[in-house]
Structure 1
Amino acid sequence: MDKPLRKLSGDPSCKNGTCPTLWGTEDNKDYVVQGYVVTDRDRLTQLDLPEGETAVVVPAAVLEEYFRARR
């Protein structure tokens, strides 16, 4: 994925600038979610992720901010 990213929303309680964030590609065809890697084995088992995928936890506020801005 070599398309430029643009920041769509971030964690409003972030103090250091490296917090969960929602990014979009310049052409609006893809999203990239930055969050905390899920390491809990029970949760990973529930997700049954295929090879090459991972799961991240993103605070609800990040997505709420994005959808609120789109209204």
Structure 2
Amino acid sequence: MLRKLSGDPACKNGTCPTLWATEDGAHYVVQGYVESDPERLAQLDLPAGESAVVVPAAVLETYFRAQG
């Protein structure tokens, strides 16, 4: 089961970019917008089985500020 850690404060519909933690706390899951820009994807050089998502900075900043 995932635990919601932080969401986009500008979200109006509840299904926006979000930071989640796995049940054991060993991993994070990031929900965001699929990165489709060819130049950015080329820079990432993703291996098979990986993908990239874009999240608003506020999602991560809100979480890490709360941890500090």
2:45 is matched with which residue? Answer: 48
> 2:31 aligned to 34, 39, 44, which one?
34
Q: Determine the C-alpha separation between the residues in 2 that align with 1:25 and 1:37.
A: 21
TM-score, normalised by the number of residues in structure 2: 0.97
> What's the % identity of the aligned pairs?
76
> 2:56 aligned to 38, 59, 65, which one?
59
Q: Determine the C-alpha separation between the residues in 2 that align with 1:38 and 1:62.
A: 17
CA RMSD of aligned residues (A): 0.5
Partner SS state of residue 44, structure 1: helix
Moved over 3 A (4+): none
TM-score, normalised by the number of residues in structure 1: 0.93
5+ residue gaps in structure 1? none
Q: What number of residue pairs does the alignment pair up?
A: 68
Alignment of 1:24 with 2:17, yes or no, is no
Q: Determine the C-alpha separation between the residues in 1 that align with 2:56 and 2:49.
A: 23
5+ residue gaps in structure 2? none
